[in-house]
Each structure stands twice: as structure tokens, then as C-alpha cells.
Structure 1
Amino acid sequence: MSLLRRHALLALAGLPLAASAAPGGLPAVIDHDGGSPEWDRLRAKLFGDRPIATGADSQVQLVVPLRAAYGASVPVKIVPRLGDQAPGRAVRRYTLLVDKNPSPVAATLTIGPAIARAEFETRLRVDEYGHMRVIAELDDGSLHLSSRYVKVSGGCSAPPNRDAPQLIGQTRFKLPEGLKPAGQPTPAEVTVIHPNDTGFELNQVTVMYIPPHFVRSIRARYDGRLLFDLDCDFSVSENPSWRFLFQPRADGGGRLEAEVEDSKEQRFRGGLDLATGAIA
């Protein structure tokens, strides 16, 4: 039965029109904290029956636009409510999920002692309207959830950029705001030049699907100390980029380094010498 015919029959019967769904079965009233069958399965598989704090009790916040401009590059920010990392009050791990993506576990971040505050920014692919979620595990073992509903689609089938295939694997660090004064966390960003092909993209010339080829892991260090270990898949956007906060040495020196591996078992490295600005 068409939507117009159903509405006409409801009006003749004197019944109110349903407000829970929009044309195409999309929700008209957004519930950012709502569940889904996909989330139910993921929760059971990943966390069993462990309690997960939500709402005002949660110690993490996920910042995502309700409507993103482009499904293949949705900006995502994870903000801890704990403030700076400290013994007994620190985030140990983040699990980032996109409920309705073909591969819903987008990324798992294991956080090391060189991170000053467990605040991260990246961009994700979103395949269809649905929830994005982050689950934080603190060093006391407790779990905390934040979720947002995102109205965007098509992110996993969007054609990738093929302008500079010779640059694939280049791994670059930058300090967007320069080095902060001693005692203040410094924002840094690591980017890997990579198409992050999903396997669902169509080559516009051959009209054949492009085989999957994406970054699987990024291991980031500062002076040999762990910043984060990232395990990810094609739900992360093309040219994966992760912004984080670290605490530089008092003399402003030291070296940021990253080791990268992709789904074809190719390995890449990149680094930045803070004292000289030299890139390697």
C-alpha cells in the first residue's frame, strides 16, 4: 500500500497519522540514544552482559553532525568527560561503531601513557541512516557509551580519489597549532595517504567493483612511548587521519612516529622530529 493511500485511509477512519516514521521508513523523531538490532548483536558479541553507563552517567561524549555533507567523510570527535588522563581516571580503550555499515566496527583505539587527554578526531564512512556509537573502557574496567543518529548515506560506495596513487602509504604528522607551552597538551595529527577502498565502489571506467584495499592498523609513538594502537577498517574515510593530544617534553624535543599496515600487508612508516621539524 502506498504511503499516500495509507494516510488517506487513516484520515477517513479518524486516526492520527504516525509520527514515528518518515517516507521510506526513515525516523521523523530522532532518538540519539535509541537501539537497533545491529547494536544488540554487537553489544552481546563485544561486551557480553557487562553494564554500560549511558546518559549523564557516561564519561564519554560523541560529537557528530546530524546531517553530514558527504557520507564518505563524516567528521567525528570523541571527548572524554574525565579531562586529562590520570591514574585511576583514564580511558584505556575506545570502540567506534557504525551500526548499519557493512563492517560496523570502524575502529578500536588502545590508548597509551603518552596521550595527555583521550580526545580524538577522525572522519568515517556512513553507509545509511543510523546510529554511530563510541564505547569507552576506563582503567577501572567500567564501560561508557555515547551515541548519535546520523542522517547521511552512500559512504561505503562513494568513488575514491585516484589523483595521486604514487603517494599511497605516505604517513605524515603535523602540529596544527604548533607546540604548546610546557604543561599544556599539544594537538597533533597523523594522516596516511591511502584510498581505503571498501570493495563496494564502482570503477567508473571499467564498470567493475574496485577490490578492497584499506589501512588495518596505525601504531603511534612519541619517543618510543605508546600514544595509541589503532585497529581499523574501510569504515574510516579515504586518507585516514587521526587528531590527538599529547604532552611534549619540557625541552620541546622528541620524535613522533607511526607504523602502518594495510589489508595487502603493505607496511609504511612516518615520523616528525619536534625539535627540527624534519619529516621522515
Structure 2
Amino acid sequence: MPENDIDPHAAPSLSAVEAEHSNDAGLSTDAAEHTPARLAPLVDRARGYVDAASSANTRRAYASDWKHFTAWCRRQGLSPLPPNVQTVGLYITALASGSGAAGQKGAAVSTIERRLSSLSWNYTQRSLHLDRKDRHIATVLAGIRNSHAAPPRQKEALLPEELIAMLETLDRGTLRGLRDRAMLLIGFAGGLRRSEIVALDVGRDQTDDGRGWIEILDQGIVVTLRGKTGWREVEIGRGSSERTCPVVAVETWMKLAKIAHGPLFR
């Protein structure tokens, strides 16, 4: 994939192209302007659904990655738009190679793959398509994986006795200790991710950035979560001992912290 295969002068200037495709909302500015006034509420609702398709953190990460890519293109005299598989292939090569300075390491394979996903998403929002299966991208990425990828590390599972030892380090006389105790127990019992635990609300639709909520029943807690593939429910039963019961821990935290609405853990 020689660099001289790319003619930077054949693509529009960066500023001109970015101005033309500056709308990331999935609905172009031109389309919105030509939509009949009576459909304006539907346009606003559609934009809301577009925002709901991904979390705010994900959109911020995609925007940051796009900014990084366009800055690299500007330095190389290339244009990020329209999508050019050779340009993207050179970009991920540059990421893997680092700056070329002595001791400078390239980006991790996971970082490169994330940036590549971000580029695909950004192009899709501009009604453009990046062919990631093209040899200029797929073959280069395969070579990067073979050359730089570290073998996966299997984490050891946390055992119940280790969890109990962790709980014993927490002060039951402070709200922080009660909160952390509830977070550890509900996370362990439900197999929840850290991001899922901290995004829980007390009830449904109580915060804009909430990713789920809880419902306390006689038998236990039902945790409703929104993930990448949709909604799911996790049932957490009451424990045989109040000392390690996740439901009692959550109830105690909510009662003493006087939490009845909004984020569950704060």
C-alpha cells in the first residue's frame, strides 16, 4: 500500500468537506430545513431517538476519535471526506507505529479497533460508507493484530470469602461505607458491570443519563438494565444472612441516606 497511491490534491479541502457534512445528528441540516413546518415535532422526536441510540459517553468518544482522525489528515495533507480506504489504512498504520521517536510506543490494538469503529459510525452519520473489509484496512488491521496484540488475560473470579473480606474493611457507621457495601453486594450478586451499577436509578426514567433502575420486592430486587443489545432484567434474591444480603444492604443504604428518587448510588 504505497503512499503515492493516494493523491491528496484529488480530494476536497478539509474545511470545505467538514462544513458540508458537519451535522452528526443523523438528520441533515438541509433535510430539516426543507421539512414542512407541520412535521417539525417529528424531526425533533427523531433527533431524540438518534441521541437515545447511544450513550452520551459513547458519542463523546466518537467525537473525540473523529477529531483525532481529522487532525491527522490535516497534518498529512489528506481529506477525511469522502471516506478513502487507503487514507484509513495509513491512519491505523500510523497509530500502530507511534510517532517514530525512540522509545515511543504505538497505540494498543484495542484503541486502534475502537478508533476504526468510531470512524465507521461517523461516516454512517454523514450517509457515507467506510468499507472495513477492503484489503487496505482489513489486511493492515490483521497484520497489526498479529504483530502487536497481547494475548488475552483471563481474570480470576472473585470468591465469596474474598468478597466478605472486602466488606469487613468498610465502616458500617458511615454513609460511604454503607453505600460501598451495597454496591459491592448488588454487583456481586447480580454479576453487574461497574458502569451498570453507577448508572442505576431508584425508579424508572428518573434521570436523563440513567441506564436502569431497581424494584425492591418481598423476594428480592429486580434490576432492569439498558445495554448495547437492548433491555434485560436481573433478579437478585435475598440472602440467608443479613450480614451479606444484597437486598438488606441496598435497603439500609437508601433508608439512612434518605434516597427516594434519582441516582441510586451517589
What band does the TM-score fall into relative to the shorter chain? under 0.3
- TM-score, normalised to structure 1's length? 0.24
* Larger helix fraction of residues: 2
| Structure exhibiting the larger radius of gyration computed from Cα positions | 2
More strand by share: 1
Normalised to the residue count of structure 2, the TM-score between the two structures is: 0.25
